[in-house]
Structure 1
Amino acid sequence: MSRFKTRCVALLAGLCAALSLTGPATAAPAPTAGLVLRSDTAINARLHELVFTTQHLDAPTFVRVLLPQGYSPARRYPVLMLLEGCCNAAPQARDWTDPAKGNAEAIVGGAQVILVMPDSGKGGFYSDWYNNGHGGNPRWESYHIGQLLPWVDAHYSTVPGRRGHAIAGFSMGGFGAMSYAARHPDRFVSAASFSGALDSNDPKAITTDEMLAGLDNPVPGSLWGPRSTQEARWRAHNPWDLAANLRGMHLALYTGNGNPGPFNKTFDATEGNSVHPQSVSMHNRLNALGIAHEWHDYGGGSHTWSYWRRDLSQYLPGMMATFARPPALPDPFAFTAAEPRFDAYGYQVTVNRTGPAFATLSGVTRNGFTLNATTSATVATATRYRAGAPYQVTVTTPRGTRIQTLHATRGGRLTIPITLGAFTTHQPDIDAVLGQRPETATITIAEHI
């Protein structure tokens, strides 16, 4: 472990461009060269506590890393990012390995997986904060997804890519697990929620989320902005709204109903009146979309560590089985996001607007795709075409059909401009903001013979 000396970790610009966030799954404005490891303390032979500084947070932040028994750089290990719920004082990274709380080291036992347990703020909600239009810190998503996970992959012997990464968490961390997985489906092969807050469209959730975010910043609108004017921004992070992006993953949802159970003798209102309805809503949404998932509505149970420890122990076998035989990438795939720039599975989309509105890539194969959006866009494909070769690209929209010849770049990409309806951010109709009245472009791609 001597290589974990304090130093600035400069990550590869190309990788960071795919992962750092102004939008989901996605768009990166600049390489993340600001992650600095300040200390690495060995708690025991397997457990290390790391302290980082990053330009995305205003204070040093903790991460605990639990290595598997017999860890050796000679082999590769999958990674489980394990997320924290709300309200606990920093460093939250310690809670999952606290024997009185998560007890993760004992639960994981001999499973050959690396656990990564980061800080998340008392009410950080695993998001880059809007701060009433000013942006800035905290930028939890840019840090966790754009910096921390690539750093882990660079400094430990991990299984690369989607097939080697899973994510899970409880309460706010259940939200984080499902939101990150839905916004970055090309990064995770498995995701689980333990008593997660999975649907912010629930009126009770709106008040709760704003109140919990206030633990980190009491100024209203700091997290995603006022719901009344920034609903699209809220829904751009909401697992329920992004559920279709989860297709092709191993998914597990765990929830109690708040009634007395094996570890609680009285009704728990947080579990029964808040997260349980949201979990049920997410379960129903996945069912409606035909997305397979494990559903563990175990009846009596409270919003406490006793149940989350049990959830983790029950989730592990399915997760490890998924790592052993990872599902193939969805083909064709579909991906929905509301940010002006986003990417997924190597496709990069730039929509010609500044405000949020949903756009969807669907039916994506080598032979083409469909873009559903409220305004014109440019789509750069994944690197799946013959370098320098000419391709006939046909774009069909409500305005007609345009046929053009495009040449693949040296890297094998095609960059395709698509003209759709004009979008205005001046008092936009809410249906347009939420992507309810988009136009559809159908793109076919064929190589010239």
Structure 2
Amino acid sequence: MSRFKIRCAVLLAGICAALSLTGPATAAPAPNGGLTLRSDIAINARLHELVFTTPDLNAPTYVRVLLPQGYSSARRYPVLLLLEGCCNAAPQARDWTDPAKGNAEAIVGNTPVILVMPDSGKGGFYSDWYNNGHGGNPRWESYHIGQLLPWIDAHYSTVSGRRGHAVAGFSMGGFGAMSYAARHPDRFVSAASFSGALDSNDPQAVTTDEMLAYLDNPVPGSLWGPRSTQEIRWRAHNPWDLAANLRGMHLELYTGNGNPGPFNKTYDSTEGKDVHPQSVSMHNRLNSLGIAHEWHDYGGGSHSWSYWRRDLTQYLPGLMATFAHPPAQPEPFTFTAAEPRFDAYGYQVTVNRNSPAFTTLSGVTHNGFTLNATTSATVVTATRYRSGAAYQVTTSTPRGKKSQTIHAARDGRLTIPVSLGALTTNQPDIDTLIAQHSETATITIAEHI
């Protein structure tokens, strides 16, 4: 890969964060969403190349699936979604299994895991594109999370649910792995970044990410819009801003500092000046939040396949140990999103606005939750209450308390309206939004005796 492509890959990977108002974070994925398998070619006994068409992309798209040795439908296997960096021509799906690049088949060996390696565009950024307010294709997140992974679970013998799914990637794919994990923490039990650009608040990231997106569409503002006017759309996918969502997950971060190392003899500014500072920023953010993670700042190293192969090799043992003994869903949990509609761990939140603004659902247990939002909302709980039973729901806000009786639906969910002030903000800061721009409602739930 050329130095230009490498640099692009990193920064683009790093800018991170576009937000679609109707992306997968807003609703549970459909079983297939129009995804159609067009061909399945066996490269060898383990490796298959699939070609799909989907309404979320304008052209057929490739996926490589590497099955475990001795794959049998009589047992179930966990899944690792393995993501690609920027700038390579389609099909990007082939890079991780190219012996001269990822060499994943040899690295995985007899490890009992299914690898899923999809296309991602030259600079797709694992996002549903804003397209200057028009929306539409490409919708990479809707495709990968809402269509491809459910299809894999339906057509292969996989371990279902969060406990059987992980995501990892390099460069832009490192961003994608941490962004997908933070936006969908109920879908993944582990996430890893190899030389990922993980904080788009880095000033260098903006220009680079826009430049890399031009590889797929040269119209300015297509990816997430201009940063100057659409900052929240950038930050709504930014792993740094969404880091609190990663609590309870097995996490690993790998980065070099660009200096000469075992596989490079000269300084690499892409790794040293672009990716490394963003990875350090993410590491510090996780530490400040008290979120456990493995930090591999290995010193000398460049932005190249030699190091990403080593990263994958080192990640596999911890990943498989996590699959063997998956951590429980965090309880209580916290989840932050900027979409007007989102879901997490079975809870569905609809905020009464059309424009994006950060909302946080926190302290969520059977006994209630706290909601920080800029306006009123409706929260539909997970299925955890007695069907038809009556519950006293008390909402406490700065204006006082209000109690109401709500009956659980047949599926065991409560639908709770939350009245808050009609506050607005266009450029919220993730650290000060809750204190300065939103109101807090604390909801307690008790069953009537």
**Structure 2 partner of 1:170:** 170
Which residue does the alignment assign to 2:235?
Answer: 235
Q: 1:29 offset after TM fit, Å?
A: 8.7
User: Is 1:329 aligned to residue 329 of structure 2?
Assistant: yes
Unaligned runs of 5+ in 1: 1-19
Gaps of 5+ in 2: 1-19
Q: Deviations over 1:178-200 (max 9, x none)?
A: 00000000000000000001000
Larger deviation: 243-252 or 436-445?
Answer: 436-445
Q: Residues of 1 paired with 2:29 and 2:221: CA distance?
A: 24
> Matches of 2:357 and 2:364 in 1, distance apart?
20
Specify the SS of the correspondent of 1:430.
coil
SS at match of 1:48: strand
> Which 10-residue stretch deviates more, 25-34 or 290-299?
25-34
- Alpha-carbon distance in 2 for matches of 1:429, 1:267: 41
Aligned-pair CA distance for 1:432: 8.2
The alpha-carbon deviation at position 430 of structure 1 amounts to 2.7
Provide the identity percentage.
86
Cα shift at 1:33: 3.2
For 1:268-297, what per-residue CA distance to the aligned partner results, in whole angstroms no more than 9, with x for missing partners? Answer: 111001010000000000000000000000
Aligned to 2:270: 270
Secondary structure in structure 1 of the residue aligned to 2:348 = strand
Partner of 2:203: 203
TM-score (norm 1): 0.93
User: Which residue does the alignment assign to 1:124?
Assistant: 124
Distance 1:29 1:111, change over 3 A: closer
Q: In the superposition, relative to structure 1, how do residues 104 and 197 fare at CA in structure 2: closer, same or farther (>3 Å)? A: same
Indicate whether 1:76 and 2:76 are aligned: yes
Confirm or deny: 8 A CA contact 1:172 1:196 kept in the other structure: yes
User: Which one scores higher on RCO, CA 8 angstroms, separation ≥ 6?
Assistant: 2
Give the C-alpha shift of residue 30 in structure 1.
6.6
Q: Which residue of 2 aligns with 1:358?
A: 358
Cα distance, 1:29–1:119 mapped onto 2, change above 3 Å: closer
How far apart in 1 are the matches of 2:42 and 2:30? Answer: 33
> CA RMSD, aligned part only?
1.4
Question: Which secondary structure state, in structure 1, belongs to the residue aligned with residue 141 of structure 2?
Answer: helix
Task: Give runs of aligned pairs for residues 134-149 of structure 1, distance below 5 A.
Answer: 134-149=134-149
Aligned equivalents of 2:121 and 2:94: distance in 1? 13
- In the alignment, what sits opposite 2:397? 397
Q: TM-score, normalised by structure 2?
A: 0.93
The residue number in structure 2 matching 1:261 is: 261
Q: Deviation string for 1:62-119 (max 9, x for gaps)? A: 0000000000000000000000000000000000000000000000000000000000
SS in 1 for 2:370: strand
C-alpha distance in 1 between matches for 2:40 and 2:171: 28
Corresponding residue for 1:250? 250
| Aligned ranges 1:413-424 → 2 under 5 Å | 413-424=413-424
Matched residue type, 1:210:
E
**Distance in 2 of aligned mates of 1:351 and 1:330:** 24
Query: Is the CA contact 1:23–1:340 (under 8 Å) kept in the aligned structure 2?
Result: no
Question: Per the alignment, in what secondary structure is the counterpart of residue 208 of structure 2?
Answer: helix
* 8 Å Cα contact 1:68/1:112 also seen in 2: yes
Aligned match of 2:300: 300
Within a 5 Å distance, the mapping from 1:408-447 to structure 2 comes to 408-424=408-424, 428-431=425-428, 436-447=436-447
- Partner amino acid, structure 1, of 2:81: M
CA contact (8 A) 1:24 1:339 kept: no
Residue 126 and residue 290 in structure 1: after superposition, are their counterparts in 2 closer, same or farther (change >3 A)?
Answer: same
Aligned equivalents of 1:30, 1:328: Cα separation in 2: 25
Q: What do the CA deviations read for 1:108-141 (whole angstroms, capped 9, x no partner)? A: 0000000000000000000000001000000000
